[in-house]
Amino acid sequence: MADPVALITGAARRLGAETARTLHGRGMRVIIHCRNSRHDADRLAAELNAARPESACVMQADLDNPGQVRILANMAIQQWRRLDLLVNNASSFYPTPIGNSSDEDWTRLIHSNLRAPYILTEALAPTLAKYKGSIINIIDVYAEKPLAEHTLYCIAKAGLAMLTRSSARELGPDVRVNGVAPGPILWPEQGQDNQAEILQATALKRSGNPADIAGMVAFLALDAPYVTGQIVAVDGGRSLGFHGG
């Protein structure tokens, strides 16, 4: 049987890149989606193809544009004529205090974090069902416990959590859908300046690393055939009940 195929959105850097490496190491071919980080995406694909020829490719699309998202879905199906896993990892994150947000903020935060995953889920479900595949959504502890001045982001991630549970029910038994909710793994490039406070609020009193998330994605995708509709917190115990942040 041909190697299974995974599409990982936002996979050029950070958690997405580590997830692509981990899935590739487990024998999957990977489609590395990016928006602006084409150089990083191409470099990652070259690294993976050097390890196993013709096992990685790059596709570029703006997830804020529904038309481009649908084109991405079609291209992903056509690349190797199969798809076994969709990882909705791409995300926008920045503060939007109430009274100081714009329509553009809605577009950037809601589209990338929620609408694009829905469109990809809808477009790719028939192919995923054919191969008894799965979907994994990267959510956030803030989907349940809001972060001050990040209401739009929290709304989007809460919606993604419900998309995970609802689509698991609707797409079963042929497609499993699960989520991973990271805690303090890699700090955002903006909008999170209380890092010491956040770490103190975790049970383990430290940050995790990208391999923690990538390993959970691989487990849910490849090693958990009876798990669906679940959102697994990989957060060092932060979701047990934290203060502030």
pLDDT tens sequence across 139-181: 998 898 888 899 999 999 999 999 999 999 999 999 999 999 9
Per-residue burial over 161-183, b = 16 or more CB atoms within 10 Å of its CB, e = otherwise:
bebbbebbeebeeebbbbbbbbb
Q: Which two tokens stand for residue 11?
A: 């996979």
* Rounded Cα distance, 213 and 28, in Å: 17
34 forms bridges with which residues in the sheet?
Answer: 60
Report whether pLDDT(190) > 70: no
* Rounded Cα distance, 66 and 53, in Å: 32
Beta strand 134-138 with 176-182 is: parallel
pLDDT tens sequence across 75-134: 999 999 999 999 999 999 999 999 999 999 999 999 999 999 999 999 999 999 999 999
| Contact status, residue 115 vs residue 68, Cβ threshold 8 Å | no
| Contact status, residue 104 vs residue 78, Cβ threshold 8 Å | no
Q: Which among 164, 190, 159 is positioned nearest to 177, based on CA atoms?
A: 164
* Rounded Cα distance, 90 and 92, in Å: 7
Q: Which two tokens stand for residue 86?
A: 């969709």
* Rounded Cα distance, 111 and 117, in Å: 8
Note the pLDDT of residue 193. Answer: 59
Residues sharing a CB contact under 8 Å with residue 35, sequence separation 6 or more, in sequence order: 10, 60, 61, 62, 63, 90
Tokens 């995974």, residue located: 6
Active-site residue set: 153
Tokens 């979907």, residue located: 135
- Which domains are seen in the chain, by residue range? 5-240 (3.40.50.720)
pLDDT tens sequence across 1-44: 579 999 999 999 999 999 999 999 999 999 999 999 999 999 99
DSSP letters, 1-67, are: -PPPEEEETT-SSHHHHHHHHHHHHTT-EEEEEESS-HHHHHHHHHHHHHHSTT-EEEEE--TT-HH
Q: Write down the pTM of the prediction.
A: 0.92
